[in-house]
Every structure is written in structure tokens, then in C-alpha cells.
Amino acid sequence: MDALIVASTIQQQHALSDVMHRAGIDCVVCSSAAEARRESLCRPFDIFIVNGGLPDERGNELSASLAETNDCGGIYIDDFARVDMFGDDLGRSGVISLVRPLTKTALGDAVRMLVVANVRVTALRIENSELKSKLEDEKCVFRAKILLMRALGYTEEQAHKYIEKKAMDNRQSRRKVAMDILKTYEA
């Protein structure tokens, strides 16, 4: 798991990276929003921590942007007034807002919550991808059935059996057989 840490001072950077290393998370440390944006373009991050008070941009804006563009959760740390003002909006983006001064225990708990959420989201993404692939397979097979019904006068059941038998006989997926049918009869 990789993390992006954005903090303007060396002391903040060391404190935040120490917590991440204790959690077994590799991290890239940046001292400005511009540097963090460049890093996030170069490689994906699973989580991020933005310590407010950056020299070139407001930390809440960077946090919202990172959460949206990288599709990951993060932690935004700032003074009570800013967290109170932006915390709800950031929460809807998947960002946990924490108030300074902050203990390492509280930060560690927030990091653990993000890690658990990230594992769950990753599993859901994989499942979603598999379901999309199956849906595309079924769409392709359905189109092939329709072509067989129109071109050869098959019933839907006959077209279905034809595709199934062809797939088994040729040791191919139903989608591959359907694609071959589409190439043959759509041309």
C-alpha cells in the first residue's frame, strides 16, 4: 500500500511518515500542493494525508482534488476552524478531517480506518469489473443469437444451443463464438 504525505515542514513530514511506516505503508513525502499534484500524476496512491497550511494552496482544496482524481481516501489535518468549515464536504469525498493538535494514536486509528475502507473498495472494484465483463459477454452472446435467428431462422433456444455446442466443441468461450458469429453475419 502506498501513501502520499503533504506537509510544509520537515517536522510534520517526519511525524506523519513515522505513523505510516509503523502501519507498514510506504509513503512519498511532498512539501507543497504542486509537488503533490505532480507525484499523484506519476503514480497512484492508495491513501493520502494533507496537513493544512501549505505554502501554495489550501489543504482542503488539495484534499478534495486528490480524493476525486485518484479515487482514494485520505486524511486532512488542520485547525479547528478550517476543519469545521470544510469537514462535511471533504467527508462526502472520502476524506477524514482531523483537528490539530493531533496524537499519533488518533492519526494511527484514522489510517487503519482508511486501510480497511481501501481493502473493501478494492474488492468491490474487482467485483464490479468482473460483473461488467460478464455483462459484456452476455450482450455479445445475445446479439449473436439475434443474428442467428434472423440469418438462419433459428428460434432463440436453437441459437442458444448452437452457441453452447460450438463453444464446447471448439473449447472456446461463448463470447469468442459469439464474436465469430457477429463477424460472419454482420459483414
pLDDT at 78: 92
| Phi, psi for residue 138 in degrees, rounded to 5 | -65, -40
pLDDT at 73: 87
Please give the model's pTM, rounded to 2 decimal places: 0.73
Reported as a single tens digit per residue, the pLDDT across 31-52 is: 999 999 999 999 889 999 999 8
Give the orientation angle of helix 156-170 with respect to helix 104-152, to 10 degrees: 110
| Phi, psi for residue 181 in degrees, rounded to 5 | -65, -45
pLDDT at 121: 87
Q: Which residues of the chain have pLDDT under 70?
A: 187
pLDDT at 41: 92
| Phi, psi for residue 103 in degrees, rounded to 5 | -85, 155
pLDDT at 4: 95
